[in-house]
Amino acid sequence: MDKDQKIYDLEERANKFADRVTDYVLKLPKTTPNVEYGRQLVRSGGSVGANYIEASEGLGVKDFDLHIKISKKEAKESRHWLRLTRPLPEQEQEKNFLIQEATEFILIFSKIINNRKNRNL
């Protein structure tokens, strides 16, 4: 499978995102801002999938809704931290890919949230 090929299993896709975020951060120049932003990015990047897994565990509607909203929030934070990092020129393409992937997670989780709201009206 191509490195950038879309994965439609959301849990697996979030796991790949976290892996790529980790690899990206490990390659960042070790400047003070990159180290600090990188720490935050690794946390939020891994939390996207962790909260999706929590939502998928079926502990109830309120728990599902809460963890989907947290997944969306963590994707937004990941995008924020990615934008603040200063990679080497050869990492710019990976940075842009990860920003796009975070944006797609935001859109996916927003759609799930909106669909659930519309069903409960």
Q: How far apart are CA 44 and CA 48, in angstroms?
A: 6
Q: Domain-by-domain residue ranges, the chain?
A: 10-119
**Token duo for residue 34:** 């990159």
Q: How far apart are CA 69 and CA 114, in angstroms?
A: 11
Residue 8 has pLDDT above 80, yes or no: no
pTM (whole model) above 0.85: yes
Residue 116: pLDDT above 90?
A: no
Q: Which fold has domain 10-119?
A: de novo design (two linked rop proteins) (1.20.1440)
pLDDT of 79 strictly over 90 = yes
CB-based contacts of 6, cutoff 8 Å, min separation 6 = 13
* Mean residue pLDDT across the chain: 93
CB proximity list for 88: less than 8 A, separation 6 or greater: 27, 28, 29
First to last CA, the chain: 41
The helix or strand, by DSSP H or E, that contains position 69, with its residue range, turns out to be helix 61-84
Q: What is the pLDDT of residues 27-58, one digit of tens each?
A: 999 999 999 999 999 999 999 999 999 999 87
Give the closest residue to 69 by CA, choosing from 4, 30, 99, 61.
Answer: 61
